[in-house]
């Protein structure tokens, strides 16, 4: 129930407009570089779901750059609330149908909707994709918008998607693409203190060196997937890494119960030997 006589909106004198954090103005967390390079090492085998069914791996390269960029955008638009494997399967179905902006523009709503029916919120995504094709053809000469700010003007494309598309399609990073995995992990590590992925992005950009902006999403999303979905493999990689104790401590912090999982997979001796 609302209390009577209260007008909606801000009460006077409280919460002035939040000031945007500028890149490079925050103090980096202690030891972040050590942890970051350990995660890079643990991700070096490129064996996470994102490596085969992510926005970089799926698009067809042999049809030219314009088609490749369009497919990067579509892969990301399909990806929200949807597992990578389902995105992969759907992208391959679309590629069989002909995944170019002209062809999708000509494909009617019902057909497109049934082609992508396995992804989450496919009705909305069908609408967004059709509208985006219209904008790409009428305003951008058949190519996707050239940067994150312009990409965000497309229906259904938020900052996370826009920064990842920009990075894969144009090899630039004007911001960091933060998904829910990353948002949770960086809060668990106390690298940020935030309520939303958007706040996580802003805080990360506040201290993370720019040369890491392009790779952070790919590396950490895959890491999060492995910690959650491929526990046996992750434990083995930690034990075999250059700093097994640190690696096991890290995955424990991120919610992998090392003792329990080591027992479950018969890795207790391996884990004990490095602790």
Residues with catalytic function: 160
CB 165 within 8 A of CB 151: yes
Burial class (CB in 10 A: 0-12, 13-18, 19+), 195: exposed
The answer for residues whose C-beta is within 8 angstroms of residue 258's C-beta and 6 or more apart is 235, 248, 251, 252, 271
The 10 Å Cβ neighbour count of residue 140 is 15
Q: Which of 166, 213, 184, 38 is nearest to 204 (CA)?
A: 213
CA distances from 217 to 40, 61, 155, 220 (A): 12, 22, 22, 5
Q: Which structure tokens are listed for 79? A: 């990806």
Q: Nearest 5°: phi and psi at 62?
A: -80, -5
CB 272 within 8 A of CB 259: no
CB 271 within 8 A of CB 249: no
């Amino acid at each position: 129930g609302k209390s009577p006589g209260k007008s909606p909106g801000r009460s006077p004198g409280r919460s002035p407009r939040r000031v945007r954090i500028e890149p490079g103005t925050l103090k980096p967390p202690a030891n972040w570089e050590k942890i970051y390079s350990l995660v890079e090492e643990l991700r070096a085998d490129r064996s996470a779901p994102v490596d085969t069914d992510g926005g970089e791996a799926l698009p067809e390269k042999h049809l030219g750059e314009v088609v490749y960029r369009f497919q990067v955008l579509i892969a990301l638009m399909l990806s929200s609330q949807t597992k990578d494997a389902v995105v992969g399967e759907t992208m391959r179905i679309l590629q069989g149908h002909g995944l170019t902006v002209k062809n999708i523009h000509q494909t009617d709503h019902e057909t497109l909707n049934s082609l992508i029916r396995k992804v989450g919120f496919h009705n909305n995504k069908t609408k967004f994709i059709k509208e985006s094709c219209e904008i790409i053809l009428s305003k951008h000469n058949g190519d996707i918008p050239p940067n994150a700010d312009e990409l965000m003007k497309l229906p259904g494309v938020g900052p996370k998607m826009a920064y990842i598309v920009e990075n894969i399609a144009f090899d630039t990073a004007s911001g960091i693409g933060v998904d829910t995995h990353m948002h949770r992990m960086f809060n668990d590590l106390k690298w940020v203190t935030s309520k939303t992925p958007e706040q996580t992005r802003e805080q990360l950009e506040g201290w993370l060196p720019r040369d890491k902006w392009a790779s952070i999403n790919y590396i950490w999303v895959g890491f999060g997937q492995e910690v959650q979905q491929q526990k046996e493999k992750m434990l083995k990689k930690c034990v075999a890494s250059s700093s097994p104790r640190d690696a096991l401590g890290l995955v424990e912090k991120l919610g992998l119960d090392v003792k329990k999982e080591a027992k479950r997979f018969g890795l207790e001796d391996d884990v004990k030997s490095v602790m």
